Amino acid sequence: MTSERKSIHGQWSTRMMFILAATGSAVGLGNIWKFPYITGENGGGTFVLVYLLCIALIGVPIMMAEIMLGRRGRQSPINTMSTLAEDEKRNKRWVWLGWMGMVAGFLILSYYSVIAGWALSYIFRTASGVFIGATAEGVSSIFGDLVSDPERLLAWHTIFMVMTTVVVSRGVKNGLEVAIRFLMPSLLVLLLMVVAYAMTTGHFMEGVRFMFTPGEITQEGVLTAMGHAFFTLSLGMGAIMVYGSYLPRQTSIAKATAFIALADTAVALLAGLAIFPIVFANGLMPGEGPGLIFKTLPIAFGQMEAGTLVGTAFFILLTFAAWTSAISIIEPAVAWLVENKGVNRIYASAWVGLVTWVLGLGTVFSFNIWSDKTWSIPYLFDDYTFFDTLDKLTSNVLLPLGGLFIAIFAGWLMRESSSRGELDSVGWVFRIWQILLRFVAPIAVIIVFLKAVKII
């Protein structure tokens, strides 16, 4: 009986710990770094509305499915898919869904760690007062000096990977739970601190109107909102599946998923409410792009009263968000090594961390000594740096395909009795989930995927 399966890694002590952990996985650089600038680029209010609809119609049903698969299999994503394919009498090749997620996680964390290292380094730069009175040229020069120095980037990348590996090596209760219990409340407090400051700028309502007043949105903007809604929940990389494998049997997957989606969305909206008033108060443009955090906001922090304190808190917040996500990304590979190679978590975490660190060297060098070296993937991408290649391959190919295959397996290939037994939802909730998972989510993900690889 599947209900008798137990994870050898342990399980979350409470339903709330799972929710905090999964929310920590979902809340990352995408919420605080990416969401504000893509909202700015795509006109604000209407983009936010489309994003919220996509979270509800695409993200939530796929997340429910991924958690369900994880809890039913009670193993790493690779072994879970192998077990469930056998249970449901399906092709053994479904194990490749688990492998694809684990590989995507390796690739993502290798560059995610480098970007998180930027945030980590900016904590100390901001606290030292280096941005006080700095001009746009000065701030840009500081950022340029950082990314052009491979030794400094390597040092921050190494520190962040060690931080992540140490937490994961300690296991579910002594490592993941301890870190999440501290990091998630701290993240929320820091974010509310920055929002509170934003309310004193005199431009808070301008930020609110920008985010929530309907306006024009392009087809590209709709697709961007759809893609970000999917990626922000950490779907398709095995993280949510492995966290689901530690979920107590009595916990409602539907209720937990709804809470996680609401919390993740709330953090993204709060990040916008924290950032846009500061941007408007300092005469900056909300559509500055990826440089909004590292090139634009430090100008504002350098000019505002108490800017050193607010800016330091902001970059601590950004680092904490990246840390909680990194912990979840590395966990599937660690769990697989423990299950299949008979090694302990410390050894497994060290090996996974080392391989990821080595792969991250490519991203480190992409900004300096390899900046003129480009890579191509036939039929997908041409002339991208190593970093951009990994970013496009994972975000535009591996994660959408992972989400699509999760929807197909859980929605079409699992017996209804199996999924009903795990979800334990009332009839109408199950039917709505089934319709969204079978039809709405796959079609939307296919559209995002085809658009991303420029087929449509």
pLDDT score of 350 more than 90: yes
Rounded Cα distance, 123 and 339, in Å: 38
Tokens 């998923």 -> residue: 257
Q: How far apart are CA 57 and CA 96, in angstroms?
A: 26
Q: Does domain 2-452 have CATH number 1.20.1740?
A: yes
Q: Which residue has the tokens 């079609």?
A: 443
- Give the closest residue to 409 by CA, choosing from 383, 380, 442, 440: 442
Residue 309 parent element (H or E): helix 307-341
pLDDT band at 1 (very low <50, low <70, confident <90, very high): very low
The string of pLDDT tens digits covering residues 20-69 is 888 888 888 778 878 888 888 887 889 999 999 999 999 999 999 999 99
pLDDT in tens, 315-344: 998 898 899 899 999 999 999 999 999 899
Note the pLDDT tens digit of each residue in 369-394: 999 988 877 766 678 889 888 887 88
Q: Over the Cα atoms of the chain, what is R_g?
A: 21
What are residue 384's DSSP bridge partners?
375
Query: Would you list the domain boundaries of the chain?
Result: 2-452
For 167-194, the pLDDT digits (tens) are 999 887 787 888 888 888 888 888 888 8
% of the chain at pLDDT higher than 70 = 96
One-letter amino acid at 394 equals: T
Cβ-based neighbours of 88, under 8 Å, separated by 6 or more: 413, 414, 415, 418
Question: Average model confidence (pLDDT) for the chain?
Answer: 88
Please check the confidence at residue 403 and state whether its pLDDT lies above 60. yes
pLDDT at 452: 67
Identify the band that residue 289 occupies on the pLDDT scale cut at 50, 70 and 90.
Answer: low
Residue keyed to tokens 């870190």: 179
The answer for residues whose C-beta is within 8 angstroms of residue 223's C-beta and 6 or more apart is 447, 448, 451
Q: How far apart are CA 226 and CA 220, in angstroms?
A: 10
